[in-house]
Each structure stands twice: as C-alpha cells, then as structure tokens.
Amino acid sequence: MMIATVFKTSTPGTNSLMSTSSFDQADIISTVEFNYSGDLLATGDKGGRVVIFQREQESKNRPHHRGEYNVYSTFQSHEPEFDYLKSLEIEEKINKIRWLPQQNAAHFLLSTNDKTIKLWKISERDKRAEGYNLKEEDGRFRDPVRITTLRVPVLKPMDLMVEASPRRIFANAHTYHINSISVNSDYETYLSADDLRINLWHLEITDRSFNIVDIKPANMEELTEVITAAECHPHQCNVFAYSSSKGTIRLCDMRAGALCDQHSKFFEEPEDPSNRSFFSEIISSISDVKFSHNGRYMMTRDYLSVKVWDVNMETRPLETYQVHEYLRSKLCSLYENDCIFDKFECCWNGSDSAIMTGSYNNFFRMFDRNTKRDITLEASRESSKPRAILKPRKVCTGGKRKKDEISVDSLDFNKKILHTAWHPKENIIAVAATNNLYIFQDKVN
Amino acid sequence: MLAKGLKRKLSDYEENMAGVPGAFDSNPGLPYTLQRQLVLNMCLIKLQSCRMLVEPNLHRSVLIANTVRQIQEEMRQESSHEGSNICNGTSPIPDTFAASQAGIELTGTPSSVQNNSLDLNSSSEFSESQIENSLVVVSDDDMSSAISSILKDLDFMEDISPSPCPISAGEGDISTDISLGDRPHEIKPAETVFGSFEITNSTSYLTDLAFDDIFEDIDTSMYDSDLCLLPLTPARSAPAIVDEVSKPFQLCNSTSVNAIQICRVDLSDLDHIMEILVGS
C-alpha cells in the first residue's frame, strides 16, 4: 500500500519559494474535501477563501500530466464580520466544506464559518453571445432609430470562465461556533452542529431551521460536555451521529421525535484504568466522526487514536489504531502548549478498507484494516518533489535512535496535519500541512 | 496561544528544566500530589488567559474546567480520607526537598484541604524544588472562587433562553498571583464556571425564542391589560432585554377599570419576575 508520487504542492496566495515561517496566517488551510466524483477538490482557509482544484482529464498529448489537479476556481466565501451586540469579531475562517452531489452542469458546495453557512454555485461559462441587437460589440448601446434589421445572437466560444455565486445564506441559527455540516442522503436537507446544538436545514429554505439536538443545560454552570462533530448517515436519511468532548458518540433517529435529545444508540468505550491520568478526559474528546461509505461502520478520532466502531455495537470499538502513542508520556507539555486541544480529522478510503489521519511534524498515518499494516508518511517540501516516492517515516521512542528515525523530542509540534481527504474512488489523497496542500497518488506502472 | 515546538535534543532536555510541564513529563517519579498541583496551576492559568480573550473557546474551557473539577474532587476525597495525616508533612514532600526547609510555611488552617497548600519559598538547587518554587499553590477555596470570578466576567455568550439562575454578585477581581488561603472567600462550587457564559436574550434570535420556558408558571393573562409594569423594565444594561420582556407582558396603552385591582393580585409573581430580571 505504498502511496507514492507527488503531484502538486500548492500555496494559494504565497510565493512557493517563501519559507513556511513567513507565510500569511490567512493562508492556513482549514478544510479539505473531495466532491462525489473526485474530480474536484475544495480547500478552505483561514482567510475565508475557497480554492477548488480540478483533475485534469487524461489526454494523449500530455501523458505525464494524467490526473493532475489544477486550480479551477478561487473565491472569497466568507468575510470577517462584527457582531455589534457582543462586540466580537466573527472569524471568516472556513471550518468545513461539503459538496452536494452533482445534478446538472453546475457544482454546488456548502461552506461554513463559525456562524454562517453558504451554498455556493460554481458554474462554467465557455460561450458568449455575439450579435446583440441593442448593443454594439464593445457594449455601447445602439440608437434604436438606426436599427433596421433584427438578428439572432450567435453563441461563440470563449476562454473558460468559472464563476462562483452564493445561492443561499443560512445565518443566525447558531449561538455557538459551528464545527460540522453534513449533507443528508436525501440531498434536500443538511445538518449543522455547534458546541451545544444541532440544526436541520432544508437547502431551499434559509430563514428557518429545525433544532434537533440541544444539550445546553438549563443552568450553564452545569455544562460539562459539548458537541464536537456530527454527521448524517450515508444512506439512511433519518439517522445521524454526533460525538462529544467526553469521548462518546450518540446515534439518533429523527423519526423518534422532533427533538433528538434521546439517543438511539450510545457508544462509549470504558476507560482503561492503567492509562488513567489527569488528561484522560481531554484526550478522550473526539475531534472527528465519519461514517464509512457503506454505512456499517463509524470512525472516531480522539487525541491519540482512531477507533472504528460497528454501528450495531455500542459497548466497544471494533478496531483501535494508535496514531502517536509516544505522545502519551508528553501529555503535560502538550497540555501546556495547547497542542492537546488540536482537532485532528480522519477519513476513509473509497472501499472502506483503509483509514487515514494526521499527526505532528507534518506526518500523517494510514492504516490498512485488512492487513493491519500501517504507515507513516511526511508531507513536506523536502520529501515531496514532484513524482518522488514517499519514504515511510518512523518515530523513535526508545533510547537508540536508528538512522532516518526521528526522536519524539525533535518533533515539530507547530507542523500539524489536521485535515486530510481521500478520493472517493481512487488512491489519491490530499493532505493539508498548514498553508500547503499536498496531493499524493498511488503509483501505477 | 502559539504552540511551542518541542525541538530539543534528548541530552539537553533534562538540563533545560525551565519548562515545568517538561519536568512533569520527564520525571515520572514526581510525587503524585505535586504532579496534581502542577496540572491544577496550569489549568487555572489557562482559565485566566481565557478571560483575556475576547471570545474564549467553549470546548477548551469545558475541558479545562472538567479537569479542575476532577482534581478538586480528588483532593476533597483525599482530604476526607486521610484527615490529619498530611499535616505532619511526610507524604507529599520529597526527601530531597526536606533538606531545604528554611522557607517553608505550613498553613495551620483547620481546613483539611489546605493541608496541601505549602508556600514554598526555598531557593534550593534541586530540580524538584525549582518546580515547587515556580508553583503557585492554591487552596480549594481559592480555586473555586478563581474559576467563578474569572469566568463570571466572560459575559460574552448570549443565547435564546435566558439563564434562570442569576449571576452572583461580584466577588472582586482575582489577582494574578494567587496566594495562600488568607483571603476569606466563600467556598463556591466550581460549577459557577459557566454562569457567565451567557447573558440574556438577543434580538437576533427572535424567531425561535422560547419564552414559555421561563414564564410558564406565571399567569400572564392579567398583564395583558395596561398594568403599570414600568418598574419591571430592568435597570440592567441591554435594551435587548427590554424588548424581550415587553413582548409577553404587552405593555399596552389602553386603560382598564380593573387595572388597579389586578395589580394587587399576585405580587408574588411580580417578585418572581423581578428576581429573574434583576438577578438578585
């Protein structure tokens, strides 16, 4: 399962020769998402911009460029806002992007910041009309008196122009910060989740949403748990799951009632008493939850591990994969520098046979569920020249450090890979390392 | 808070003990109570820095507060079990430190929890004492009051349904150097942590406001008339509150003969409302 070949490293808005230490904070990538076909890859950044990459079609003329991703469209999705009532600035950082399945020539995606979700339409224009009756070609209006004949405008080809326009704005429904959005399998509704509530929206209706989960206690002083992620089931449009900061997942059925405060299933793994520490609760907080494509499994990411659950078994996960167990002895330092609060995401491959998640030092990990093999790779400029083969990396935990290994204390905790995405059909992955996007592909001879 | 890269060579690591948490991680032999104290102090410092931020992260604050509560609970249980055993100073103090007792002050307060409070002024060369010097040891009382006073000021979150629990009166600002339990604070539960996370109604969320929740036990029919409710329009800040309050009470202009009679009835309801609005 050797993933190899780098196609592109892309730093939107910055000179690629600049060192990473001097990049603009606004360029930090905050979300990565392939669309349903995998031909489009969207990234959102801290500056509120969305950049969409499109996979180049195979062509005999450029055989080496098969399947390269090039910039397709860039637009400003969210602007910083100011809430006058609270005297607070609302960050424009894009927290999540979710694509809608394609139904016509245009592409639609949902992008959200902390408070507002927007539906964007991305459409191509490659023809323009020539031969208007009332206008000259340069745009000047013709004198109607002079017009003696009528003609039908003709469509002429033009350079491809990709336009993004906001079609819906879903605002003012969240008091707390939105952490997740998820499109329902009915393709008509979607859910949005903040720290304490989950709302269900209809894609056509922007002035109202249904609150389906509310864990806010009557007395805020009793608050001990927040919602950290939520996702709709891929096939059953009445089912969704949400994870909490206490390491639990709740599966809810919307048919049960208007308010899904009562869960249908409750997933929690009992804590291993030998691993108990002051930070046990913090590291158990789930940062991401993802259903498998087949809908039978659920994957959760907590600080040190990834767990795969069977949707029908609530007592314990099916599989647990240690991402960076060597950090367990460093928890206090990681708490002090706030790294312990980093929210890593995780993703499935198209066939649900492998999972991927990020770590520190620009490392990311992939686990094969069938062979139980795992690999650590690095997304960095040095090791990622185009068409280079990635070398597996290893972190040394013991005393003797072998050549090519890196010791735990040398890890750079500023270089974290929080966002990764896997192509829905092929072995192509997108990895966001701070302000750089790396796309890797399985080498095919 | 910028993440500090832990790029240190293994050999330098133990010498460079400037990082207290580094000491925690690399020195598992540290006594448990000391470890706990370290963690607790870090938590409090973090909560304090939360206060500096304009809009603290709720997730983070919840996790830190839970950690503090957990430690508090542990300390309480411990003190109730061990009682005066800790008083003679045998268990928590490492032997290496015992040599430099010069500056140690043991507070002789009867509160069993405060047995863990040691003001360590020693300037010993020992690495563990360095840790202890950098510690600001906090008593249980101070901890709870620290959390509540810090976060009480975080009046940033507003929400649809106002909190029925009025925010307690000011306790006074907490200074950054938390000292021994000299200050006579009441023991407030750490649960007052999030009381300040919300102020009341917002005009932005009018569409799905749930007035019924707060006022369901109040018969508002009598207030549909021109009952003079001006005293009830709260003296407190936000005009948003006035808008929300006036809606269910419908401050009408029409006069009614029965107004005065209705006025006398159910003053207890008025008191109840007053309590909610004014936040006694």
Q: Output the DSSP codes for A62-101.
A: -GGGTT-EEEEEEEE----EEETTTTEEEP----EEEEPP
Q: What is the mean pLDDT of residues B73-79?
A: 88
Q: What is the pLDDT of residue B89?
A: 42
Q: Is the Cβ of B205 closer than 8 Å to some Cβ of chain A?
A: yes
Task: Compute the count of residue pairs across chains A and B with CB atoms less than 8 Å apart.
Answer: 145
B55 with A88: Cβ contact below 8 A = yes
pLDDT at residue A410 is higher than 80? yes
SS3 A434: coil
Q: What is the pLDDT of residue A259?
A: 87
**Residue B253: both structure tokens together:** 């202009």
Beta-bridge partners for A213: A198
Residues 6+ apart with CB under 8 A from A339: A360, A413, A416, B3
Q: Compute chain A's Rg from CA coordinates.
A: 24
**Residue A118: both structure tokens together:** 């927007």
Only one residue has tokens 């399945």, namely A101
Least confident piece of the model among A29-43, A248-262, A371-385: A371-385
B164 with A219: Cβ contact below 8 A = yes
Contact A211, A259 (CB under 8 A): yes
- Across chain B, the runs of DSSP E, i.e. the strands, are 104-106, 118-120
B157 with A338: Cβ contact below 8 A = no
A219 with B165: Cβ contact below 8 A = yes
Question: How many Å lie between the alpha carbon of B221 and the closest alpha carbon of chain A?
Answer: 26
One DSSP character per residue, A401-426 reads: PPTTEEEGGG--TTSB--EEEE-SSS
B42 with A89: Cβ contact below 8 A = no
Q: What is the pLDDT of residue A403?
A: 79
**Closest partner CB to B191 (pick from A222, A245, A341):** A222
- Residue A170 pLDDT level (bands cut at 50, 70, 90): very high
Contact A207, A246 (CB under 8 A): no
The whole-angstrom separation of Cα A188 and Cα A204 is: 8
Q: Considering only CB atoms, which chain B residues are within 8 Å of A329?
A: 25, 28
B42 with A336: Cβ contact below 8 A = yes
Q: What is the mean pLDDT of residues A18-32?
A: 76
Q: Considering only CB atoms, which chain B residues are within 8 Å of A207?
A: 207
Determine the residue among A176, A211, A220, A396 to mutate to test chain B binding: the one whose Cβ has the most chain B Cβ atoms within 10 Å.
A220
Q: Considering only CB atoms, which chain B residues are within 8 Å of A208?
A: 207
pLDDT at residue A13 is higher than 60? no
Q: What percentage of chain B carries pLDDT values higher than 70?
A: 23
pLDDT digit string (tens) for A319-332? Answer: 999 999 999 999 99
A219 with B240: Cβ contact below 8 A = no
Least confident piece of the model among A55-69, A431-445, B252-266: B252-266
Chain B from 149 to 178: CB within 8 A of any A CB: 156-160, 163-165
pLDDT digit string (tens) for A66-101? Answer: 678 999 999 999 999 988 887 888 999 999 999 999
Q: What percentage of chain A carries pLDDT values higher than 90?
A: 68
Q: Considering only CB atoms, which chain A residues are within 8 Å of B25?
A: 329-333
Question: How many Å lie between the alpha carbon of A91 and the closest alpha carbon of chain B?
Answer: 11
Q: Compute chain B's Rg from CA coordinates.
A: 26
Beta-bridge partners for A204: none
A281 with B67: Cβ contact below 8 A = yes
Find, in chain A, the residue whose alpha carbon is nearest to that of B44.
A336
Q: What is the mean pLDDT of residues A355-370?
A: 96
Please state the length of chain A: 445
- Residue B121 pLDDT level (bands cut at 50, 70, 90): very low
pLDDT digit string (tens) for B156-169? Answer: 444 443 333 333 33
Determine the residue among A409, A414, A434 to mutate to test chain B binding: the one whose Cβ has the most chain B Cβ atoms within 10 Å.
A409
**Residue A52: both structure tokens together:** 């969409």
pLDDT digit string (tens) for B192-204? Answer: 445 444 434 344 4
ipTM of the complex: 0.89
Q: Is the Cβ of B37 closer than 8 Å to some Cβ of chain A?
A: no
Q: Considering only CB atoms, which chain B residues are within 8 Å of A87?
A: 54
A337 with B208: Cβ contact below 8 A = no
Only one residue has tokens 């069993």, namely B112
Q: What is the pLDDT of residue A140?
A: 86
SS3 B238: coil
Q: Considering only CB atoms, which chain B residues are within 8 Å of A414?
A: 2-3, 5
Q: Considering only CB atoms, which chain A residues are within 8 Å of B7?
A: 409-412
Q: Is the Cβ of B207 closer than 8 Å to some Cβ of chain A?
A: yes
- Residue B141 pLDDT level (bands cut at 50, 70, 90): low
Q: Is the pLDDT higher at A136 or at B64?
A: B64
Question: How many Å lie between the alpha carbon of B209 and the closest alpha carbon of chain A?
Answer: 11
Q: What is the pTM of this model?
A: 0.71
